[in-house]
């Protein structure tokens, strides 16, 4: 029996991607927190006695060649690679290089793209197996079966090729009791290299955590990735245990809850808040809330327990668009919640998206006006992107056209879907107008000036200005929105 050794890898970013028009976005948004999904898998394997390593080649700045050399030096029996849709080409390139130069090693691909599009992933011979859904138990059972020289048919949650055809094993049930999982293996990651966005200070170090999995809501732009619409939560005690570890072991002064859905109910949030207050834990934290659940009273309790910022998913300032995308909130609910958060000093931040199916220039103007009317401190605006597996992927052709089927373009920061009546150029101008018309106002400058506490904060805001220049000035002069060195064949044609 071969002793299993598993290396889990977040693929490297190419030089062209780092230096391209979206390089600043990649640096500031994609890599501001650790890849907790593979960190959970690593900790579970460690708990079960498997030798395991983690390599975040992207945040480390490793080149593709350097990544492969480090993999060879580590001598794994299994290399597990995680991938989102837009970086799937990077995963293909890495796995191909590993197969070519790292000897007898099994390759396993997992992550959001693969969980919804296993057939697409397994078209690439560089992958031996695909993990569908949660990876902890599936990865453990796979590496043990391979080490024993046994078959893998009994391993649930896999896709593989057999006689040239795709074969799926029995689906893997979701883990019902999340508390059985150990904390993510942060000790295997370079935590100091994950730098929050400049306007997400001022309390550093800032670390992230996930307190639940899944989301029961049906927003049409979401593919529900690995965890689907089945919602499960860690217990309040387990959540605050991890918060305490982040403070005591890793020195966190700010904790970001990055769940798909932190606020599924008032009772759940009240339980977490009560536990924080009962233990007297002193740490700042942020989370995403839902406008149809949050109340002024609940927000006040969160503020008392250390919450300093809430993030609100708005998506659109037009009621008809909100109904079409099945957001299940109204503009009035959003207005009431953001006003309450502002009054309580919770510095509300809102997420918007432009380019939904049925979207027009007038509805985008509604969103811009709505954002400006709310007492927000910050916004994030993205461009709607029909991901395979999302409900809108089945209907988007009725409402517009795709101008790219290259997965590497599916970043949410560039137009790939153009609603009828709009153009790519108009979408880009509206996108820039949204950001600039929101931030270039005295009231926003004043809200941020009130948050300054010293030289470090000034440096953060200078970095934010640099990011703004790169995104909206330099990019405007560069009409090329995609890289040209990605592997061929990873487009969406086979999925449609």
Average pLDDT over residues 403-418: 92
Give residue 489's pLDDT. 41
Q: Are 130 and 114 in contact (CB under 8 A)?
A: yes
Our CA dihedral for 236, 239, 240, 245, rounded to 10 degrees, sits at 160
Beta pairing class for 129-131 and 106-110? parallel
Residue 74: pLDDT over 90: yes
The crossing angle, in degrees rounded to 10, of helices 88-101 and 64-74 is 50
Report phi then psi at 469, rounded to 5.
-60, -45
pLDDT digits (tens, 9 = 90+) for 126-151: 999 999 999 999 999 999 999 999 89
pLDDT in tens, 172-184: 999 999 999 999 9
pLDDT at 196: 84
Of 211, 309, 192, the residue nearest 250 (C-alpha) = 192
Q: Write the CATH number of the domain with boundaries 5-168.
A: 3.40.50.280
Given pLDDT bands bounded at 50, 70 and 90, which one contains residue 163?
A: confident
Q: Is cis: bond before 482, omega within 30 of 0?
A: no
How many CB atoms neighbour CB 79 within 10 A?
A: 26
What is the side-by-side strand order in the sheet with 307-315?
A: 206-209, 254-257, 284-289, 307-315, 349-354, 378-383
Whole-number average pLDDT of the chain: 90
How far apart, in whole angstroms, are the C-alpha atoms of residue 37 and residue 60? 17
Count the helix, strand and coil residues of the chain and give each as a percent rounded to the nearest 5.
Answer: 45, 15, 40
pLDDT digits 0-9 by tens, 87-119: 999 999 999 999 998 778 999 999 988 988 899
Least confident span in 62-71, 346-355, 376-385, 447-456: 447-456
Mean per-residue pLDDT, 212-228:
86
| Average pLDDT for 364-391 | 95
CA dist 419 to 259, 356, 390, Å?
30, 7, 17
Report the C-alpha gap between 460 and 196 in whole angstroms: 10
Q: What is the pLDDT of residue 113?
A: 87
Q: What angle do CA 413, 83, 475 make, to 5 degrees?
A: 20
Distance CA 227, CA 174 (A): 8
Residue boundaries of the structural domains of the chain: 5-168, 194-477
Work out the average pLDDT over 340-366. Answer: 97
pLDDT beyond 70 at 124: yes
Tokens representing 424 are 């790519």
Give pLDDT, residue 435. Answer: 95
pLDDT, tens digit, for every residue of 428-486? 999 999 999 999 999 999 998 888 777 766 676 666 666 665 556 555 444 333 333 44
Q: How crowded is the C-beta side of 326, counted as CA atoms within 13 Å?
A: 10
Q: Name residue, tokens 């997400």.
A: 200
Contact between 165 and 121 (Cβ < 8 Å): no
- Of 233, 236, 234, the C-alpha closest to 279 is 236
Which CATH superfamily includes the segment(s) 194-477? tm_1862 like domain (3.80.30.20)
Condensed to tens digits (0 to 9), the pLDDT of residues 290-308 reads 999 999 999 999 999 999 9
Considering only residues 226 and 333, tell me which one the structure prediction assigns the higher pLDDT: 333
Residue 416, pLDDT > 80, answer: yes
**Residue 477: exposure state from Cβ atoms within 10 A (0-12, 13-18, ≥19):** exposed
**Residue bearing tokens 């991901």:** 387
């Amino acid at each position: 029996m071969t002793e299993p050794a598993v290396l889990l890898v977040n693929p490297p970013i190419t030089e062209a991607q780092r230096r391209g028009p979206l390089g600043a976005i990649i640096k500031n948004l994609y890599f501001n927190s650790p890849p907790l999904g593979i960190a959970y898998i690593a900790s579970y394997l460690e708990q079960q006695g498997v030798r395991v390593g983690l390599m975040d080649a992207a945040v480390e700045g490793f080149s593709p060649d350097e990544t492969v050399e480090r993999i060879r030096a580590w001598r794994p029996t299994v290399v597990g690679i995680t991938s989102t849709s837009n970086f799937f080409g990077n995963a293909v390139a890495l796995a191909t290089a590993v197969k070519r130069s790292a000897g007898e090693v099994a390759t396993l691909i997992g992550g959001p793209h693969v969980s919804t599009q296993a057939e697409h992933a397994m078209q690439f011979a560089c992958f031996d197996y695909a993990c569908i859904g949660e990876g902890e138990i599936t990865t453990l059972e796979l590496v043990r079966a391979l080490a024993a020289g046994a078959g893998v048919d009994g391993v649930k949650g896999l896709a593989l090729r057999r006689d040239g055809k795709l074969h799926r094993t029995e689906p893997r049930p979701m883990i019902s009791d999340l508390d059985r999982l150990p904390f993510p293996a942060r000790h295997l990651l370079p935590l100091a290299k994950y730098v929050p966005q400049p306007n997400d200070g001022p309390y550093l170090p800032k670390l992230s955590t996930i307190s639940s999995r899944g989301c029961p809501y049906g927003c049409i732009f979401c593919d529900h990735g690995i965890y689907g619409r089945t919602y499960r939560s860690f217990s309040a005690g387990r959540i605050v245990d991890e918060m305490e570890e982040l403070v005591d072991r890793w020195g966190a002064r700010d904790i970001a809850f990055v769940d798909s859905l932190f606020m599924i109910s008032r009772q759940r949030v009240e339980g977490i808040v009560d536990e924080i207050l009962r233990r007297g834990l002193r740490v700042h934290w942020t989370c995403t809330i839902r406008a149809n659940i949050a109340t002024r009273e609940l927000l006040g309790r969160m503020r008392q327990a250390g919450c300093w910022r809430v993030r609100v998913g708005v998506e659109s300032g037009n009621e008809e668009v909100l109904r079409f995308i099945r957001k299940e909130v109204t503009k009035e609910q959003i207005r009431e919640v953001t006003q309450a958060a502002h009054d309580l000093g919770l510095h509300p931040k809102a997420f918007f998206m432009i380019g939904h199916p049925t979207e027009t220039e007038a509805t985008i103007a509604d969103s811009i006006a709505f954002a400006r009317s709310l007492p927000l401190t910050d916004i994030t605006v993205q461009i709607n992107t029909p991901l395979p597996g999302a409900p809108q992927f089945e209907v988007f052709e009725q409402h517009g056209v795709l101008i790219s089927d290259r997965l590497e373009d599916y970043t949410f920061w560039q137009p790939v879907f153009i609603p009828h009546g709009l153009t790519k150029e108009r979408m880009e101008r509206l996108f820039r107008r949204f950001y600039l018309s929101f931030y270039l106002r005295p009231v926003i400058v004043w809200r941020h000036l009130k948050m300054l506490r010293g030289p470090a904060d000034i440096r953060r805001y200078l970095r934010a200005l640099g990011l703004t220049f790169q995104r909206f000035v330099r990019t405007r002069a560069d009409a090329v929105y995609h890289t040209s060195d990605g592997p061929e064949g990873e487009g969406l044609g086979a999925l449609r």
